Structure 1
Amino acid sequence: MVAALELYLDPVATQRVRNVWDALEAAGVPTLRDLTHRKHRPHLSLTGADRLDPDAVVAALGGLTAAPPLRVSLDYIGQFLGRVLWLGPVPTPELLAHHAAVHERLAAAGIETSELYRPGRWVPHCTLSMRVPLAKLTEALRLCLDVLPIEATITGAAVADHARGLYTPL
């Protein structure tokens, strides 16, 4: 999966996550800051797929705002298999309802997305590192705990295909 519909955080929260990326990098933990083309922004992905056609996503969403000004609070740390480290927002009813509404419209338009991002399976998260070295895991967790919570407002969205260098603001 290389394409995603990403939600972006307000400038203060974005900088706070970037500061975590910097601290992790200084500790020897690779982050999204330097992954691929250095264009990643702190974000929550609403969905992911091998490819997402930005025009089809816009058409599918119709009048639904891709990035409503939702308040989120990054309150905890999580890890997926493969030592993927992330900050988790509290899954508020508003965030979950927006996620479900986006998926309902994408499905109705026949847009294929990853099962892992579908309602009922989605774990909302803001990725920090795709591969934390095992020897650095404890230090990485400590660095994250030092900054939590991070209060944020969703302020933008885009269809991003980082592998192909495509980025379409919504």
Structure 2
Amino acid sequence: MVAALELYLDVDATRRVRTLWRALEAEGIPSLGELHQKHRPHVSLAAARTIDPYAAAAALKGLEVGRGLTLRMDFVGQFVGRVLWLGVTATAELLEHHRLVHERLAAGGVELWEHYQPGRWVPHCTISMRVPNPMMAPAIRRCLEILPLTATVTGAAIADHVNGIAQPV
């Protein structure tokens, strides 16, 4: 992922995820906290190779993106490529908000990756982008130690860490 619309978590949930990142790193498992050292715990609502932060902000104007949503992380998952994540329970409220955000972005001409579209999106909080195969079981065990985790969304931004973009929306 290069650019994303990220939902940011409350202070307690952020602290718990960062603690998990550090615990994994101490065991030799790379975490998202190490990648660019700019990431903060988040759940991405949308992603693409690039997202024009000004076009996205204009499309979402007047919408409190994610703010106040309660996210419950209850399970651990893995995407192809050894990406490890905490799974967010897909509530009706979260899915409706996701649909509305995508509707507004599409109307604003913001193109996004298909696998983040409504009906295909898997809500998650990324923990590691490349867990070494022999370390997957210990990494999953560490993740399970902090679950369940409930978080309140406190903010959102278009983030492109490689290009130094963090535009609040």
1:29 corresponds to 2:32: no
Whether the aligned pair in 1 keeps the contact of 2:67 and 2:156 (CA below 8 Å) is no
Opposite residue 15 of structure 1, the aligned amino acid is R
2:97 is equivalent to residue 90 of structure 1: no
Shift of residue 68, structure 1, vs aligned partner: 2.2
1:42-121 pair list within 5 angstroms: 42-121=41-120
Deviation sequence 1:135-157 (CA, Å, 0-9, x none): 11110111111110111100010
Report the equivalent of 1:13.
Answer: 13
Percent identity between matched residues is 59
Q: Distance in 2 between matches of 1:30 and 1:54?
A: 29
Work out whether 1:143 is the aligned partner of 2:142: yes
Q: Partner amino acid for 1:10?
A: D
Q: 1:53 deviation in Å? A: 1.3
* Corresponding letter in the other structure for 1:126: C
- Structure 2 distance, partners of 1:168, 1:68, is 15
Match of 1:39 in 2: 38
Quote the RMSD (CA, aligned, Å): 0.8
Structure 2, unaligned stretches of length 5 or more? none
Aligned to 1:134: 133
Distance 1:138 1:69 in 2: 34
TM-score (normalised: structure 2): 0.97
Q: Aligned partners of 2:84 and 2:144: how far apart in 1?
A: 12
- Residue type of the partner of 1:23? A
| Code of the aligned partner of 2:98 | H
- Counterpart CA distance in 2 for 1:129 and 1:56 is 29
Letter of the structure 1 residue corresponding to residue 11 of structure 2: P
- Matched pairs, number: 169
Q: Secondary structure at the match of 2:166?
A: strand
Give me the whole-angstrom Cα distance separating, in 2, the residues matched to 1:83 and 1:130. 7
Separation of aligned partners in 2, 1:60 and 1:168: 13
> Is there any run of 5+ residues in structure 1 with no aligned partner, and where?
none
Q: Could you tell me the TM-score, scaled by structure 1's length? A: 0.97
